[in-house]
Amino acid sequence: MDKPSVFRGMFIHNSANADIRDASKGMAAEFNIALLPELPDTGIYLNIDNSGAGLCDTSSPKQAPVKAEFVSPEMQYRLKKSGAKSELIMRAIGNKQGPCNVIDATPGLGRDAMVMANFGCQVTMLERSPAVAVILADGLRQLQQLSSDLRSNLSLYCDDSIHTLNEKDLKNKGLNLPDVVYLDPMFPHRKKSALVKKEMQLFQRLLGHDPDADVLFNAAMKVAKKRVVVKRPNTAEPLDNQKPNLTIDSKKHRFDVYLTG
């Protein structure tokens, strides 16, 4: 595995308005992230301006900041056009008998969490990277302004899912055991290609891939009341070499479904 790039901290542009500055400083304090007096020369950093929080890589200065997807035009278009039958993730989590209580233990940019929340699921995101947690928290801040009802279906904790997915720690956070645990662990792409999105390349430089995905899977299996759903590339082996109860396929990936109750 390539060594992850160094995360430098958060840079807030002087042009950012007072509300953005205050919110960003609050997130930096909450997630224990250093505030940078100037733009760094190397590494990855959080860039804050009036459009919100984004991850930037000094080695790719022309790449746009990577941001959460809750309020992106692409996400809003998808939500307007999609239905429960067309969204394979909804078939995978088994939402037919009513909205599920879901823990998304690998939320990334929040796309899948947003889709599940749009169909009424209560989705708790557990993100272990403070840098990624900031862009998710900022995305939720913007979503509150767009749709407070949809925002109410999403919550975020900056925690390592492996340590949190047990009954005691969930209870300490005021969380019930989930109906579904959803996993989309980082897959180790060995080379750059058009098929590997730029934000995923940046995530891999920031975090590496998820070598402990099997451990996370087994933790999920112990707390999910109904099922664990794992999103995998079509070429990838099942997590922990465990055969799923059923698989839902798409062109580029699949959902492995493990029934627990």
Tens of pLDDT, residue by residue over 154-181, are 999 999 999 999 999 999 999 999 999 9
Work out the pLDDT band at 195, boundaries 50, 70, 90. Answer: very low
**How far, in Å, are 38, 56, 127 from residue 41 at the CA level?**
9, 12, 27
> Do 99 and 90 contact (CB within 8 A), yes or no?
no
Phi and psi torsions of 90, nearest 5°? -70, -35
Q: Which helix (H) or strand (E) holds 132?
A: helix 130-146
Looking at 51-60, 61-70, 91-100, 136-145, which range is the least confident one? 91-100
pLDDT at 188 over 70: no
% the chain with pLDDT above 70: 93
Domains with residue ranges and CATH for the chain: 68-259 (3.40.50.150)
pLDDT at 36 over 60: yes
Work out the pLDDT band at 84, boundaries 50, 70, 90. Answer: low
In terms of pLDDT, which residue wins out, 168 or 1? 168
Looking at 161-165, 209-213, 234-238, which range is the least confident one? 209-213
| Rounded-to-5 percentages of helix, strand, coil across the chain | 35, 20, 45
Report the helix count and the strand count for the chain, using DSSP H and E.
Answer: 10, 10
Say what the pLDDT of residue 95 is. 81
pLDDT at 97 over 80: no
Residue written as tokens 């233990």?
105
pLDDT at 191 over 70: no
The average confidence (pLDDT) of the chain is 91
Say what the pLDDT of residue 252 is. 85
pLDDT at 1 over 50: no
